[in-house]
Structure formats: structure tokens, C-alpha cells
Amino acid sequence: MQGAESRYPRRPTRQLHVGSVAVGGGAPVSVQSMTITKTADVEGTLAQIYALAAAGCDIVRCTCNEAEAAEGLAQIVPRSPIPVIADIHHQYRMALAAMEAGVHGLRLNPGNIRRPEHIKAVASEARDRGLPIRIGVNGGSLDPSLYERFGGVTPEAMVASALQEIAYFDDVGFTDYKISVKASNVPLMVEAYRQLSEATDAPLHLGVTEAGPPPAGLVKATAGMATLLLEGIGDTIRYSLTADPVEEARAGRQLLEALGLRERKNVDLIACPSCGRAEVDVIDVANRAMAAFGERQLPLQVAVMGCVVNGPGEAREADLGIAAGNKRGHLFVKGRNVAVVPESEMVDALVEWAEYIHEHGTEAALARADVTVAEREAARDRSALLDAKGADANHAQERIVEIRRTVAE
């Protein structure tokens, strides 16, 4: 089921299955990534697949570029915790070998497997085995004839490439396909997917190819995929980062949770940007909190706020939070102060209370607290902070006088 927070109508698509994972047709948007090990290295590839699965990856892709890779897949697939797709380029026989190895699906690039009889041979075998295929159009490897016809890499050229491949599949009665039209240029990628979504009801795999290393790569990929997801376009996604693929899986999961398209799996940590009122190094506390929560399965929103003046109020919708004041940490649950801890114990207290809320619920957490004492102490520290730094830290009243004088003149 998709996240309860989602208010974006999804574009209707056909549904297919990659192993046990449904794609399209109202299924939750899934997260994909790709191993960067040599597929022939069975143990190394499996270790990476398990790390990806732990980070939120639903489907993994492995290259199948040689016979040794296909043989590796035969050993990897039965031991993988998530479905495995074989990535095929140039050599259609590698697609046939991968299917023999037992993979759950294929990715074909129409830009480099161009002989219709080869494409149809793969599609026929996949049809008989009940395996899905992704038509992976890539702006960097477009068929030269389409490049010439459309005058370069354009959204129209990329969509035409996908539709041309579909026609080959239709010839052999194969319909179990999803499509991607990736490019490293974000506006190009977005427009290509928009046009493709009007041309077919096939599930769409979103991605900005060759996005580069973080943080720039994260920004580019998020800009493209989030734009389309908010328009209801996209059934499965992959961040293509120059980084550890675990970062791709983690980013994909976080994006879908942020958009309300997947139920929250881990902590969603929010933090104020800090200001002159901050009583602690908010960046340090937030980073230590992220490290402490790690991959704990605590689907809560947790806030780290720099001061008690506005912290609990601004983060009142968070399940749990902490605000600094007078060398102490003020814990709050749904905006209500519940405990006061030494500054040095702020992160440990957050983790302990988060685990308690996850196990027992918000009401039980409030019931265990001496709310009256906690709120009294928070009010005392709030008052002390305002006395020390001023309720009007920006000297607004003085500025207003000057504004009025300027306007009057």
C-alpha cells in the first residue's frame, strides 16, 4: 500500500512482476540499484546485494557482459534476498544466457542491440519464460538513424526509440515490458518521460543517467525524478550516482518516503537550520543523531532543534524531538515537553524515547512522563534565553521605526 500521506494521483499503468515485486498498476513505487562488482565474483556481488536490500533496495541489476557473468548469476539468483535483473548490452546471446541462469528480468538497450531478429529472439524467450524486460533507452547511446532523423538527442527521438522497440515485441506477442528514457540532462529527461507517458500505458522506470557524484548527482537525480513523481509519472526509480550503490538505494527510499509514496521505514530526522538563539551546535547534534539511529527500523519523525524558544512549536508534528536550552536538552513528544536531560545525553535520550514510542505508542510515552515538571523547566529555560538574547533578536521594532521614516520621506 502506498503511503497515507500521498495526495498525488498516479498515472494508470499495466502491472508486471519482477520476481515477487509488482511494478505498475497501482503497486508502490519500487527502488532499484545496480551492483558495481564483477558479476563473476559471486560472494562479493551477494555481499553488495544484501547491503543494498538492507538500505531499502527492492530490485537489483547486475551486468551480464560475458559467459563468466552469466555463470555467476546462476549462483547469485537463488541466494539473493531481492529479485535480480540482468543488464544486457550489445550481445543478445548474453540475454539468453542470463535467462538460463534464472534471472527475474532483463534490461535491454535498444541503442546497441539493433538487429530486429535478435531483439525478437530475446523477447520470444522472455515471453515463454514469463519474464519482464525493461526497454532502457539512453540519451547517450541513441540509434544513429534516430539521431539523424530528429537532429540530435531530443525527447521525441528517445520516445521514438522506445516505441520502435515495442513494435518488435508486439511482433512476437510480448507485452511484459517497462520502459525508461534516461538522459543526463534533467529537462530533456523530464520532457521525454512526459511524452512517453502519453504514448503508452507501460510501467515507467525513472532515472537521470550518469548523474555524477553527490551532492550534485543527488540534486540532479532528485530534480528529475521528483518532478515526474509529483505529476503521477513513474512506477520504479533508480539513482545513478558515482558513489557506493548503497547511497543510491538509501536516497531512493528517502525520496519516496518524503513524497508520501512509500510508508516510512526508518527515522525521518528533521532539524532547524540554526540561528543566533541556538544553544548547541545543531549540525553536530543532528549528525550524531543520524549516526545513532543508523539503519534502525524506527518509522518515526524525529526533530533536533537548536533552542527551546520556538523548537517544540515549530516541530510539534514530529513524533519526537529535542530542543537545547541552558545546557540541557528538552525532550518533547508531539509538541509536549516530556523530559529534561543533560546536554551530553541528548542523542542517547532521543534514541531511547524513539524505541519506546515505536514499541508502545505516543500515548504511552506521554503517560510515562512528568509533563508538568518538563513543561515548567522548558518555560524557565525559554524565559532565561529570551532574557539573555532578547525576544527581539532582529531588533524589529527599531527597524520598523526606520522603515516608517523612510517611507514618509
Pair 250, 275 in one domain: no
| Other Cβ atoms closer than 10 A to 370 | 13
| 251 and 280 belong to one structural domain | no
Residue 372 confidence (pLDDT): 81
**How far is residue 328's CA from residue 307's CA, in Å, rounded to a whole number?**
10
Q: Are residues 93 and 215 in the same domain?
A: yes
Cell of 130: 514469463
**Do 210 and 109 share a structural domain?**
yes
Tell whether 275 and 385 lie within a shared domain. Answer: yes
The CA-CA-CA angle for residues 37, 133, 109, to 5°, reads 65
The whole-angstrom separation of Cα 407 and Cα 93 is 77
195 and 287 part of one domain = no
Q: Is the peptide bond before 215 cis (omega within 30 degrees of 0)?
A: yes
Tell me which DSSP letter residue 204 carries: B
Amino acid occupying residue 254: Q
Cβ within 8 Å of residue 316, ≥6 positions away: 334, 335
- The DSSP bridge partners found for residue 205 are 236
Q: What is the rounded CA–CA span in Å between residue 234 and residue 196? A: 11
Q: What separation in angstroms does the CA of 48 have from each of 80, 209, 244, 296? A: 10, 21, 10, 19
CATH number at residue 340: 3.30.413.10
Taking the C-alpha atoms of residue 336 and residue 349, their distance in angstroms, rounded to an integer, is: 16
Cα 330 to Cα 279: distance, rounded to the nearest angstrom: 12
Q: Which residues of 102-137 are buried (b: 16+ CB within 10 A; e: fewer)?
A: bbbbbbbbbbebeeeebbbbbbebbbeeebbbbbbb
What order do you get walking across the sheet with 328-333 strand by strand?
Answer: 268-271, 301-305, 320-325, 328-333, 336-342
Task: Please indicate, yes or no, whether residues 194 and 306 belong to a single structural domain of this protein.
Answer: no
Domain boundary among 258, 280, 301: 258
pTM of this prediction?
A: 0.84
Q: Does residue 408 belong to any structural domain of this protein?
A: no
Distance CA 188, CA 206 (A): 13
Complete edge-to-edge strand list for the sheet that includes strand 205-206: 177-182, 133-138, 105-108, 84-88, 59-63, 30-34, 236-238, 205-206
- Report whether 217 contacts 187 (CB < 8 A): no
End-to-end CA distance of the chain: 62
**Same domain as 311, residue 174:** no
CATH (domain of 200): 3.20.20.20
The helix (run of H) or strand (run of E) holding residue 88 is strand 84-88
pLDDT tens for the chain, 409 residues long, are 344 444 568 999 999 999 999 999 999 999 999 999 999 999 999 999 999 998 999 999 999 999 999 999 999 999 999 999 999 998 999 999 999 999 999 999 887 888 999 999 999 999 999 999 999 998 888 888 998 999 999 999 999 999 999 999 999 999 999 999 999 999 999 999 999 999 999 999 999 999 999 999 999 999 999 999 999 999 999 999 999 999 999 999 999 999 999 988 888 888 887 676 666 788 888 899 999 998 788 999 999 887 766 666 766 788 999 887 767 788 889 888 888 888 889 899 999 999 999 999 999 999 988 878 777 777 776 676 666 555 555 556 677 777 877 887 7
Q: How far apart are CA 230 and CA 162, in angstroms?
A: 23
The alpha carbon dihedral of 154, 155, 160, 165 has a sign of positive
- Is the domain of 39 the same as that of 174? yes
Q: Are residues 156 and 301 in the same domain?
A: no
Residues 295 and 209 in one domain: no
Give yes or no: residues 247 and 277 share one domain.
no
Residue where a domain terminates, one of 225, 258, 291: 258
State residue 277's pLDDT score: 60
- What range does the domain containing 93 cover? 16-258
The strand pairing partners of 30, in sequence order, are 236
Number of structural domains (the chain) is 2
Which H helix or E strand runs over 165? helix 155-171
pLDDT at res. 404: 76
Q: Give the whole-angstrom CA distance, residue 45 versus residue 51.
A: 10
For helices 245-258 and 216-230, angle between their N-to-C axes, nearest 10 degrees:
40
